[in-house]
Copies of this chain bind each other. A is one copy, B any other.
Amino acid sequence: MTTRITEVVARDIRFPTSLTLDGSDAMNPNPDYSAAYVILRTNRPDGLEGHGLTFTTGRGTEICVAAINALAPYFLDADVDQIFSEMAPFWRRIVSDGQLRWLGPEKGVIHLATGAIINAVWDLRAKCEQKPLWKLLVDMTPEQIVSVIDFRYLTDVLTPTEALELLRAQEVQKGERERAIQASGYPAYTSSAGWLGYSDEKIRTLARGTVEDGFTAMKMKVGLDLGDDIRRAAIVREELGFETKVMMDANQVWDVEEAILMMKSLAQFDPWWIEEPTSPDDILGHARIRKEIAPIKVTTGEHVQNRIVFKQLFQAGAIDLCQVDSCRIGGVNEVLAVVLLAAKFGIPICPHGGGLGLCEYIQHISIFDYVAVTGSLENRMAEYVDHLHEHFVHPARVENGRYLVPLEPGYSIEMKPESLEEFEFRPGSAATPV
């Protein structure tokens, strides 16, 4: 029988994380990790549903929910096989709606909503096929992968034909790589230890814990005050020595020249990368920073709005690593476009995981990149943050610094019904007020 979407439910889910300063950084001092959460109900007698979310940080989640509701008519009554039989045109229709497009295009709230609902469709598809998302993708032929990507605005740099060649060249090794990654897991790094709101003592304890937990790389927040950054970086290096990779994340607080100055001061701690040194919109600014502070790597991505900006970050030599976000851009389809663009330019992907459900999502993307696109783990790590996983039906699992390959059908993003119920936002409920 065909699987038809019979209902699109959008929910506003907020966790009061600002009370403990988990997730705090120089630009986001008090986030409430939240989600605009989508459930696609179907006509299936087994009650099969597709789930998706876009990560938000508290207030404004209701705006994303409104945007999901505005997109819902495209999905309601749609046949899942039909959607996937012409996936790229379907995706383009969503992002090109003759009226909603004005609100982006392909950026901000409307694109966050697109990410949530498109990911829910992929979750549904993967569950229909009884496969984890990464396996669904890995089992698709190069032609099938290319057929789900909208190459609009990319063809000056990557054509469908080139993408096809790139994927075909990897075909024969897929089986072997799949077995390898299942055996070894995918490398992770941790950001749990370095939030800006934590005390020095908590940073010290957590830094020590990262090595005990088997991580070989950790990230710390910087950017609010250089003196603080130096003191905290010294603590981290005292605990870890210089063998462990330490990355720094400024969350966009600096102007271009300021970023260069700051990183010259912080270079003594041998940061492996500086993340978001300035505005995510400043392609040329990143290129200049990278040139000035080499060999420190420069990276960005959690706020990079779409494939067109990634294209230019690669063209301009602006970043060393690509931190694509799984729901900032328009869901799996556009993530695949970015993964292929990155491969063409030889830029490793290190997806963004600092948020609710993002670790659950990105493990699938990184595994697909390894098995079907690049076959490389060099300079590649998926971010891991040890928060809020208990709310997921099949949470991401990291052991000894590596993601265990998920085996359950779907995109791993489905939350427990009792968590959705408990943390659904209603004025006056758990999340902190304005």
A interface residues (Cβ-Cβ under 8 A, vs B): 27-32, 55-60, 62-64, 66-67, 70, 73, 96-112, 152-156, 252, 255-258, 278-285, 288, 303, 305-306, 308-309, 311-312, 315-316, 434
Copies in the complex: 2
Residues of B within 8 Å of A282, CB to CB, are 153, 308, 311-312
User: A5 to nearest B CB, angstroms?
Assistant: 16
Residues of B within 8 Å of A278, CB to CB, are 153
Q: Are B62 and A102 in contact (CB under 8 A)?
A: no
Closest B residue to A302 by CB, please name it.
B102
Contact flag A27-B279 (CB < 8 Å), given A107-B305, A153-B285, A156-B256: no
Selected contact of A105 from candidates B29, B59, B70, B303, CB within 8 Å: B303
Selected contact of A66 from candidates B29, B31, B55, B62, CB within 8 Å: B62
CA of A70 to CA of B12, assembled, Å? 14
Q: Are A288 and B100 in contact (CB under 8 A)?
A: no
Q: Are B29 and A98 in contact (CB under 8 A)?
A: yes
Q: Are B99 and A108 in contact (CB under 8 A)?
A: no
Q: Are A99 and B59 in contact (CB under 8 A)?
A: yes
Residues of B within 8 Å of A103, CB to CB, are 56, 60, 63-64, 108-109, 112
CA of A32 to CA of B32, assembled, Å? 36
Q: Are B284 and A306 in contact (CB under 8 A)?
A: no
Residues of B within 8 Å of A279, CB to CB, are 105, 152-153, 308
Q: Are A257 and B108 in contact (CB under 8 A)?
A: no
CA of A255 to CA of B154, assembled, Å? 7
Residues of B within 8 Å of A258, CB to CB, are 155
Q: Are B66 and A97 in contact (CB under 8 A)?
A: no
Selected contact of A31 from candidates B62, B102, B110, CB within 8 Å: B102
CA of A103 to CA of B104, assembled, Å? 12
Q: Are A63 and B67 in contact (CB under 8 A)?
A: yes
Selected contact of A60 from candidates B29, B70, B256, B306, CB within 8 Å: B70
